[in-house]
Amino acid sequence: MTPSYSPGDGPSRPGGPARRRPRLTDEETARRMLDTALAMVHRDGLTVGLDHLGFEDVIRDAGVSRAAVYRRWPYKDLFFGDLLRELAGGAAPAAAPALETTREVLDAVLAAHAGDLATPEGRHDLVTELLRATAVSDFEAVHGSPEWRTYLALQATFLSLPEGDLRADVQAALARSEQRFVERVARGWEAVATALGYRPRPGTGFPVIATLACAAMRGLVLMTLSDPGLLDRRVPANPTAASAAADWSLLGLAAAALAVAYLEPDPDVTWDEARLAALTRTS
């Protein structure tokens, strides 16, 4: 491989007095370069590969010594390999629906339907409405996230990497990111379900539900790349046998199917006045 840099490629001297750049350690230079490139990718998104990212642009924006950069990474491919490791280690969690957002949606629905908590039928309708609302907010948040698009691109980029240390490192980092993403989604499902007196059916659990929910989310996000209308598509339906039909998003229908299949009322929950008051106070 031909080196991307040679001693004659050093920075040109300015015509006026040179402004001395603070001397950084190799580790500080590396951290600045990787952080700058991460910011550029998160801002613009990642295509399949990193060809759109200019090595010299990263050096300029990082404000580091060109000589120090090439001392650390004699070839730009070595830098891009380290950048792929960084991206794979953190892309998915940044795009996961925030637990705080789930709680905000829960509070809003509870505030509007607090009277429904008094009966099993009302609570069932309330859970149904929560599934409709959270599916829309989650889908919009993930679909509009540059980090999520970067994560999808990383999956494709990983498949194109040759066998070796870089491929193994990226695969392991993506697996860890995926696990954190699923765990975060599982906490969102658990927060809503337990607040309204539901539990997973025997033999399953919130991680299983979250894994399937993430798969549905990913599939629909991928499909909207070629068919953007899917994001706004609504289907008149009653997937949970609630008291009335409503217009459902496609992700909402998938979430409702999972809830019907894997959740059931928790027999250990007593809906007395104290529990009703405590739940409505949180909203």
* Residue 126, burial from CB neighbour count under 10 angstroms (0-12, 13-18, 19+): buried
Q: What pLDDT was estimated at residue 7?
A: 38
Sign of CA dihedral 234, 237, 242, 244: positive
Q: What is the pLDDT of residues 233-258, one digit of tens each?
A: 999 999 999 999 999 999 999 999 99
The answer to whether residue 44 scores a pLDDT higher than 80 is no
Work out the percent of the chain whose per-residue pLDDT is above 90: 33
The reply to whether 67 and 102 lie within a common domain is no
Residue 209 domain-assigned (yes or no): yes
Choose among 187, 186, 191: nearest CA to 211.
186
The reply to whether 102 and 64 lie within a common domain is no
Sign of CA dihedral 117, 121, 122, 127: positive
Residue 120 domain-assigned (yes or no): yes
Give whole-number Cα distances, 69 to 24, 31, 62, 158, in Å. Answer: 11, 11, 10, 25
Q: What is the pLDDT of residues 116-145, one digit of tens each?
A: 777 888 888 888 988 888 888 888 877 777
The reply to whether 169 and 31 lie within a common domain is no
Instruction: Compute the residue count for the chain.
Output: 283
Give whole-number Cα distances, 141 to 68, 178, 254, in Å. Answer: 39, 17, 17
The reply to whether 58 and 115 lie within a common domain is no
The reply to whether 128 and 240 lie within a common domain is yes
Q: For 196-233, where are the alpha helices, taking DSSP H only? A: 206-226
Tokens read off for 214: 């993430």
Q: What is the pLDDT of residues 188-247, one digit of tens each?
A: 889 888 888 899 999 999 999 999 998 998 889 889 888 999 989 999 999 999 999 999
Q: What is the mean pLDDT of the chain?
A: 82
Q: Please, are residues 212 and 258 in contact by the beta-carbon 8 Å criterion?
A: yes
Residue 202 domain-assigned (yes or no): yes
Give residue 154's domain range: 96-282
Residue 88 domain-assigned (yes or no): no
Residue 205 domain-assigned (yes or no): yes
The reply to whether 65 and 103 lie within a common domain is no
The reply to whether 167 and 119 lie within a common domain is yes
* Residue 80 DSSP class: H
**What is the phi/psi pair of residue 143, to 5°?**
-60, -35
The reply to whether 217 and 278 lie within a common domain is yes
Within 13 Å, how many C-alpha atoms sit on residue 37's CB side? Answer: 27
Q: What pLDDT was estimated at residue 4?
A: 42
The reply to whether 31 and 166 lie within a common domain is no
Domains in the chain, number: 2
The reply to whether 272 and 168 lie within a common domain is yes
* Helical (H) or strand (E) element with 237: strand 234-237
For the chain, report the end-to-end CA distance as a whole number of angstroms: 62
Residue 119 domain-assigned (yes or no): yes
Residue 80 domain-assigned (yes or no): no
The reply to whether 124 and 214 lie within a common domain is yes
Residue 17 domain-assigned (yes or no): no
The reply to whether 113 and 69 lie within a common domain is no
